[in-house]
Homo-oligomer: A and B are copies of this chain.
Amino acid sequence: MPETAIKDKCKRCMLYADSRLFCAQLSEDELCELSDRSRTLSMKRGDTLEDEALAHWPIVAIDGGVLSMQHLLQDGRKTIAAFFMRGDILDLRNVTNRNRGALIALGKVSLCRLSPAVFEQVMAQNAKAQKVIWENLRDQAFRAFDHSGDIAKKQALEKLASFIFECRNRQEHFGKTELIEIPVRRIDLAEYLGMQPETVSRCFKDLEKRGILEAQSLGAVRITNVPLLRRIANGDKDVSTGRDGEGGIKILKIA
């Protein structure tokens, strides 16, 4: 077998199979070198990427599943600051643990610890790959800015509506259907949105009662009234308080 044959582990990995993702941008030689010097890892719910492991492998690329960044307060309160999913690349080189939360899997996660040396080399040489990782990091940052805005002033119902749209934006679209996958448990969702699981539950029920969405299961919903959900997400009080029961008649107050 020639030195440059693409490894099976890479052929099975979405980072290579999806033409928009990082490994698909690499030349055969680059991919093989990166592959040889990198290590895949499977995690299950609750597993943590330990500091010690991260010191050696500070660059992590997500193949599938949902990895969370969690902040733990001293009295036990917990928050999820971010979700990382397929295609996301985390560069934790020189990130002091002061401003980095724990990285914890929220289900089965498969990821690849990339060799920092090869990563750096590819970043310097391969403009296409550089563009992909730059845009990925930029997306992560903008998603975080958005999320900060969402949880700062929005009410519970509005936060949940925004989150459903965030899921919709991130998932590969299943045709034209408004079937949205919710890839995390209620409890994680609550921690991400800064609310209690009880409140999340109540808000889902409220949206169902108003005919805005249907629960398919705990892990998926179908939006039955996209414009109305959008208005709630955008903080239109006349809708979110339920005063306008018929829905969608009132003219939007577009700034």
Contact B75 A153, beta carbon cutoff 8 Å: no
Contact B145 A69, beta carbon cutoff 8 Å: yes
Query: Which of A15-23, A186-194, A215-223 is near enough to bind chain B?
Result: A186-194
Contact A152 B154, beta carbon cutoff 8 Å: no
Residue of B nearest to A133 (CB): B134
Identical subunits present = 2
Residue of A75, A124, A145, A231 ringed by the most chain B CB atoms within 10 A: A145
Interface residues of A in 139-177 (CB under 8 A from B): 140-154, 158, 169
With an 8 Å Cβ cutoff, the count of chain A residues facing the other chain is 56
Which B residues are in CB contact (< 8 Å) with A123? 130, 134
Given contacts A124-B127, A138-B91, A191-B152, are A145 and B81 in contact (CB under 8 A)?
yes
Q: Is A1 located at the chain interface by the 8 A CB criterion?
A: no
Residue of A82, A138, A141, A234 ringed by the most chain B CB atoms within 10 A: A141
Interface string of A210-248 (1 = CB under 8 A from B): 000000000000000000000100111100000000000
| Cross-chain pairs A/B with CB under 8 angstroms, 11 sampled | A69-B149, A72-B255, A80-B149, A81-B148, A99-B146, A101-B145, A134-B137, A144-B144, A144-B145, A144-B147, A152-B192
Chain A residues with a Cβ under 8 A of chain B: 69, 71-75, 77-82, 91, 94-95, 99-101, 123-124, 127, 130, 134-135, 137-138, 140-154, 158, 169, 191-194, 231, 234-237, 252-255
